[in-house]
Structure 1
């Protein structure tokens, strides 16, 4: 399969309750992420992944999903399995997209502090996103914001949302302890 001129990352994360048991997921599509489109192939495996965190927040899970997707793209590019192209970020998290495209440069200039002087929340994750973005841009990748309203019928957004829920349900099914508030 020839790589399209762009790829789409769909990612999502969430907790229930918030804070509480969290789940994150991503899928990387070759070209536009529409029903029936192909997930990128890496040695015969679909490039999608999901995971959980026992004690987390919605924002941490949203950022973690994008972080893991960008790590995967770095790995594929370093292995020669992906050529530089535009990466379209199809997320429903304005927090994650605003941080990635707008806020991080200002936070860095202010020593990882927000405009009000308070420390940036989730600073380690934000620093990791910044590092991955710089690494991918150095390889020749570019980025485009493709925000999607959550639960509005977008195929890719709904797919990763279902993956998040499935990861959380699988965790709960394996756990012998009740997670969350009693």
Structure 2
């Protein structure tokens, strides 16, 4: 604007000199503002990524016993070489997707562990996905009660992992609607999982394991889930 005035307005050298100096100050302020804005954006992005790394980690499917050595700590819990307590969760459902379906959850901490859980799904939706989500939620709640600070959830449910790491943030921003504007089917259970993850300081890792492939912990969690489904009246 000032340059336009100089080019098309006054010819007074004194005024032109003052206007040019003023324009230089405006340019400097604009550049400084741009740099500050860029720095703030960088800091926010860095903090965001740091937060994601600090409380959420995902490992793709591999037979875990072949990859990370596990051992029992003093309390009998299974701990890997990185200090994460390993828990296996699973869900099972008879007649999944049909009338009369019955689902159960299984949470396995170790052989003969008093913390192992086998129970029916709560609520009106009895599906495999519901059971998988509820199993993970229960495991996180238990971990807090056991004083665990680093938890590695082993699950064969890629759906649950995707919900947590890819989809849930957008669903919440969109009032729990999918990209095609349909209600999220497992909203109630996912909200419960989200609330549980947000409590306290718990470093979470999600490890996807292959179901029914001979992984001992997964097989035990599946056994507990199947038994839980049979508890339904």
Which TM-score band applies after superposition, normalised by the shorter structure?
A: 0.7 to 0.9
Distance, in Å, in 2 between the alignment partners of 1:113 and 1:66 is 22
**Partner in structure 2 of residue 21 of structure 1:** 102
Distance, in Å, in 2 between the alignment partners of 1:6 and 1:124 is 28
* Structure (1 or 2) with the greater helix fraction: 2
Q: TM-score, normalised by structure 1?
A: 0.73
Instruction: Report the count of equivalent residues.
Output: 150
CA deviation vs aligned residue, 1:101-144 (integer Å, no higher than 9, x gap): 22111111111111221111110111111111111xxx322122
Q: From 140, 164, 184, give the equivalent of 1:100.
A: 164
Distance, in Å, in 2 between the alignment partners of 1:154 and 1:134 is 29
What does 1:78-93 correspond to in 2, within 5 Å?
81-85=146-150, 87-93=151-157
Q: From 202, 218, 226, give the equivalent of 1:157.
A: 218
Q: TM-score, normalised by structure 2?
A: 0.58
Residue 9 of structure 1, CA deviation? 2.1
**Partner in structure 1 of residue 34 of structure 2:** none
Residue 83 of structure 1, CA deviation? 4.2
Any idea what SS the aligned residue of 1:56 has? coil
**Partner in structure 2 of residue 73 of structure 1:** 143
Q: Which of 1 and 2 has higher RCO (CA within 8 Å, sep 6+)? A: 1
**Partner in structure 1 of residue 194 of structure 2:** 130
**Partner in structure 1 of residue 36 of structure 2:** none
Larger Rg: 2
Report the RMSD for the aligned CA atoms in angstroms: 2.2
Instruction: Mark the runs of 5 or more structure 2 residues left unpaired by the alignment.
Output: 1-73
Distance, in Å, in 2 between the alignment partners of 1:119 and 1:149 is 29
